[in-house]
Structure 1
Amino acid sequence: MEKTSTDALPLTVNSLEKQEAICIFGTGDFGRSLGLKMLQCGYPIVYGSRKPWMSSLLPNGAEVLSYYEAAQKSDIIIIAIHREHYDFLTKLTEVLSGKILVDVSNNLKINQYPESNAEYLAQLVPGARVVKAFNTVSAWALQSGALDASRQVFVCGNDSKAKERVMDIVRTLGLTPLDRGSLLAANEIENYPLQLFPMWRFPLYLSAVLCVFLFFYCVIRDVIYPYVYEKKDSTFRMAISIPNHIFPITALTLLALVYLPGVTAAILQLYRGTKYRRFPDWLDHWMLCRKQLGLVALGFAFLHVLYTLVIPIRYYVRWRLGNITVTQARSKKENPFSTTTAWMNDAYIALGILGFFLFVLLGITSLPSVSNTVNWREFRFIQSKLGYLTLILCTAHTLVYGGKKFLNPLNLKWHLPSAYVLALIIPCTVLVIKLILILPCIDKTLTRIRQGWERNSKSALNGKTDI
């Protein structure tokens, strides 16, 4: 259908609309970067500075005035100044009254002051409408345009209209505003940039503890034990062999720990007979960092694959194969082919390949760019159903690897079993508990509890369940 001139008129009018002027107090790195970004999005920018004559570093097109003069040019003033320099604002109380002050500051330490910077600003200028925003976006990201890692802008304030105007600016800049409520949330928002991988700490610390423990465990069995009883130097195993034992064990253990809090929560709900009681804090935190646990496990699985691929080029392996070949040539004997051994070896490799494939699939679907394209049912199917299948395949991979040596007393060294036996403890525990939970009699009760049924409530006695 052909468009008429009247169809195009609204676009022309919108394109000629001029954005409201924005005032920025502060000409530091962040103030300059934010001002440049706003200029590129069509906002007239006025800088307030104590030295307005020194404006050579500011973006072209911006006006530079004193604080008092700049404040009269706009209803929205962005305070891009450190908290310790806020005192001068008390002299501008009259001109700032009724205006929107956007606090973008951060501190050097978490909870450095009794109140948040935004609350402190509201106390200094009681007549202004203070909004906290932009503190999670870096000057470098604004300058380079690399906003993918910091696109979210947390916004809070006591005046809903002031917040909405600030969020409109955030959207115009190509960022995503997230309303966090009143100004009481400013303290939490100011702590965000100071937190170093908060959800990754537990997985990283746990994996580090596991690796250290398994390293010393394997050194005792594979290095110290042969030296004590056979005077054999096996220290070279610490470079490839021992790490290639540690990485898969850590990966399998962490994968099992992804699903252990889920079954633990189910047991608690069955025991309590209700879903309306909070889980312990440690279980809540554990459940929140399951994604990070899974990704760390996937990283160790990748290391296991890489270390396995280099096994054929190791000197020790080539030396052993060469000696076996020469010995067989001299004795004119060959090892008979064992179909059972071939089946075990192929099954071990096939289970490992399938398990690793599903492991990678779980990791890919946990990425926000992928998880946002599937609905909740699809995401749950992949992460739960395929997740347990991955755990089963990886556990079976380890069981087949052990084969007949699994519980052989001759395989004990100083009464210590092989390291892969330790790897099976948590996964097998999780799988056994899950098998019990999916029994019809138990699953039915658990489903009713999760639908709102309570064992000791009046509605439960009457057979009613609230939605």
Structure 2
Amino acid sequence: MTHASGTSEEMKPNNMLLHPLDMTAAPQPELLCIFGTGDLGRSLGLRLLQSGYRVVYGSRRPNDCGPLPLGAQVMTHAAAAQSASLIFICVHRDHYEFLEQMAHHLQGKVLVDLSNNLKKNMYPEANGSYLQRLVPKAFVVKGLNTLSAWALQNGLLARKQVYLCGDSTEAKQVVAQMATKLGLTVLDKGSLSAARELEDFPLQLFPEWRLPLSIAVGLTAFFFFYLLIRDVIYAYVENGSDISYRIIISLANKVFPIVALVMLSLCYLPGAIAAFLQLYRGTKYRRFPNWLDRWMLCRKQLGLIALGYAFLHAIYTFIIPIRYNVRHKLISRVVDEMKDNKTTPFYFDNTEAWGTDSFLALGMLGFFLFVLLGLTSLPSVGGTLSWREFSFIQSKLGHLTLFICTAHGYIYGWNKFLRPATYKWYTPPGYMLCLIVPSVVLVLKLLLLLPCVDRTLTRIRQGWERTQPREEMDEIKATNL
């Protein structure tokens, strides 16, 4: 009994150490400090609290700074700075003077500068560099300035890329670990001299959309003036009729589908060019020309702008029956039939009926697939698809969409290509011009689908090279010798 009792007593301390309800030894979450109680400061504090941190705010008026996230503390700047080693600066550059006055409290602290400016080159030096000069004994890290208060409040941070720069590697590692815990992807841009570049990022105006928008504006202007000359000016010069009222609806409804089809084909043309370039080179390890790289990187934007033009075409088509001149023609025809006391007979032309119905059916189907491509290009939708699913929709269904929309254009002019009246002033109509680029893309794609071409291209993309590397050739020569 004594032995058993002793064993029980010896086991008791170990059982107490393993007790799951003993929370006295649990470490407290890390305390982070935020200078600034505005929208950005409050949103950042809320996100930090949700990520498991403790938050303390530094404010000029601790007792009158508005509502703060539940669970956060607020105190003076000096007291808040002394309580944390990582401090977020969420105030404007114009109010940085108080930081110089409390430089002794910030010595050895990591200061994360989140400030931005209203325009580029607003100050002679970057905000991050200015802050480092005011507080020379602190470790300034410029970063997280591309985050908005709205994104922080709504938790839209998953896989979002943020940038950091600073002269202290250790300080950047501390900030990077915190950002990773928030769900962000961190990219180190180097020393604090890159602060100006980071501060210019939020001031960029659609940098990825500039080339696609320029192409869209150029195509729109070209086809608008081209059709204006062929339709409106030609009718006035040759026939003396003023049909300028058609510019707003009819002319625009010709331009929109033309630009949509051309831009859709421009999404797939660079891929075909790249494939033939790889076939010509016999390797995938050589870089594409810069113009082709840039073209391929903006294919998504080209497709979305094309979808916008297709939407405009669909809307304009629906309002055609309510236009004044269309209603006037219908009413005039009814009145003329009543005066003559006769009804115009319905002549059934099977060929014309098939052409019209096919034209409308292909247009609706092409527009549906167009919308499907646009939806899957959204990150929230594309992120739910596997690589194979995304590739199938964007490549195979994309080329099918291009084929259907091109067929839609061919059927529109199937009985007009050989009519002399079609070529006003010896110029082809706009729908003929817009069929050139998509037809070229489809022919190139058809060539790439040939078994002998597809097999060779697949091997190249898997790493095979037509010419062996120099090292292997030297090794073969040495073996033969």
Q: Residues 244-393 of structure 1: matches in 2 within 5 Å?
A: 244-324=253-333, 330=340, 334-393=345-404
Secondary structure of the 2:206 match is: coil
Corresponding position of 1:465: none
Corresponding position of 1:73: 83
Under a length normalisation based on structure 2, what TM-score does the superposition of the two structures give?
Answer: 0.81
Question: Are residues 1:24 and 2:34 paired?
Answer: yes
Return the offset for 1:394. Answer: 0.1
Unpaired segments of 5 or more residues in structure 1?
1-5, 463-467
Corresponding position of 1:417: 428
Q: Is the 8 A contact 1:453 1:460 kept in 2?
A: no
Within the candidate set 173, 188, 200, 1:181 is matched to 188
Corresponding position of 1:64: 75
Q: Residues 201-216 of structure 1: matches in 2 within 5 Å?
A: 201-216=210-225
Secondary structure of the 1:291 match is: helix
Return the offset for 1:413. Answer: 1.1
Q: Is the 8 A contact 1:328 1:334 kept in 2?
A: no
Return the offset for 1:205. Answer: 2.1
Aligned partners of 1:332 and 1:66: how far apart in 2? Answer: 89
Q: Is the 8 A contact 1:55 1:64 kept in 2?
A: no
Q: Deviations over 1:179-233 (max 9, x none)?
A: 1025346555433211112112222222122222222112112211111121111
Corresponding position of 2:242: 233
Aligned partners of 1:114 and 1:151: how far apart in 2? Answer: 33
Return closer, same or farther for 1:289/1:73 CA change in 2, 3 Å cut-off.
same
Moved more, 108-117 or 177-186: 108-117
Q: Is the 8 A contact 1:18 1:43 kept in 2?
A: no
Return closer, same or farther for 1:115/1:257 CA change in 2, 3 Å cut-off.
farther
Q: Deviations over 1:232-273 (max 9, x none)?
A: 110111121111101111111110011111112122222333
Q: Deviations over 1:60-94 (max 9, x none)?
A: 86333244x43211111112244466566566555
Aligned partners of 1:352 and 1:444: how far apart in 2? Answer: 34
Corresponding position of 1:456: 467
Return the offset for 1:325. Answer: 5.2
AA aligned opposite 1:74? A
Aligned partners of 1:412 and 1:195: how far apart in 2? Answer: 45
Identity %: 53
Corresponding position of 1:152: 160
Corresponding position of 1:200: 209
Aligned partners of 1:141 and 1:354: how far apart in 2? Answer: 37
AA aligned opposite 2:74? E
Return closer, same or farther for 1:369/1:128 CA change in 2, 3 Å cut-off.
same
Q: Is the 8 A contact 1:29 1:139 kept in 2?
A: yes
AA aligned opposite 1:30? L
Aligned partners of 1:120 and 1:283: how far apart in 2? Answer: 40
AA aligned opposite 2:84? S
Question: Are residues 1:404 and 2:404 paired?
Answer: no
AA aligned opposite 2:148? S
Secondary structure of the 1:405 match is: coil
Aligned partners of 1:244 and 1:285: how far apart in 2? Answer: 30
Return the offset for 1:321. Answer: 3.4
Moved more, 214-223 or 442-451: 442-451
Moved more, 54-63 or 393-402: 54-63
Structure of larger gyration radius: 2
Moved more, 40-49 or 194-203: 40-49
Return closer, same or farther for 1:12/1:341 CA change in 2, 3 Å cut-off.
farther
Moved more, 269-278 or 28-37: 28-37
Q: Is the 8 A contact 1:133 1:153 kept in 2?
A: no
Return closer, same or farther for 1:386/1:139 CA change in 2, 3 Å cut-off.
closer
Aligned partners of 1:282 and 1:345: how far apart in 2? Answer: 41
Aligned partners of 2:471 and 2:411: how far apart in 1? Answer: 47
Secondary structure of the 1:132 match is: strand
Under a length normalisation based on structure 1, what TM-score does the superposition of the two structures give?
Answer: 0.83
Corresponding position of 1:395: 406
Aligned partners of 2:390 and 2:397: how far apart in 1? Answer: 10
Return closer, same or farther for 1:233/1:11 CA change in 2, 3 Å cut-off.
farther
AA aligned opposite 2:376? T
Moved more, 342-351 or 437-446: 437-446
Q: Is the 8 A contact 1:105 1:117 kept in 2?
A: yes
Aligned partners of 1:368 and 1:299: how far apart in 2? Answer: 18
Secondary structure of the 2:302 match is: helix
AA aligned opposite 1:419? G
Aligned partners of 2:436 and 2:313: how far apart in 1? Answer: 20
Return the offset for 1:366. Answer: 0.9
Moved more, 371-380 or 129-138: 129-138
Secondary structure of the 2:111 match is: strand
Aligned partners of 2:50 and 2:377: how far apart in 1? Answer: 34
Corresponding position of 2:6: none
Aligned partners of 1:36 and 1:369: how far apart in 2? Answer: 24
Aligned partners of 2:385 and 2:212: how far apart in 1? Answer: 26
Aligned partners of 1:446 and 1:37: how far apart in 2? Answer: 48
Aligned partners of 1:115 and 1:290: how far apart in 2? Answer: 37
Return closer, same or farther for 1:309/1:162 CA change in 2, 3 Å cut-off.
same
Moved more, 215-224 or 187-196: 187-196
Return closer, same or farther for 1:300/1:150 CA change in 2, 3 Å cut-off.
farther
Aligned partners of 1:111 and 1:327: how far apart in 2? Answer: 71
- Aligned CA-pair RMSD: 3.5
Secondary structure of the 2:428 match is: coil
Within the candidate set 408, 411, 428, 2:439 is matched to 428
Q: Is the 8 A contact 2:179 2:186 kept in 1?
A: no
Return closer, same or farther for 1:154/1:362 CA change in 2, 3 Å cut-off.
same
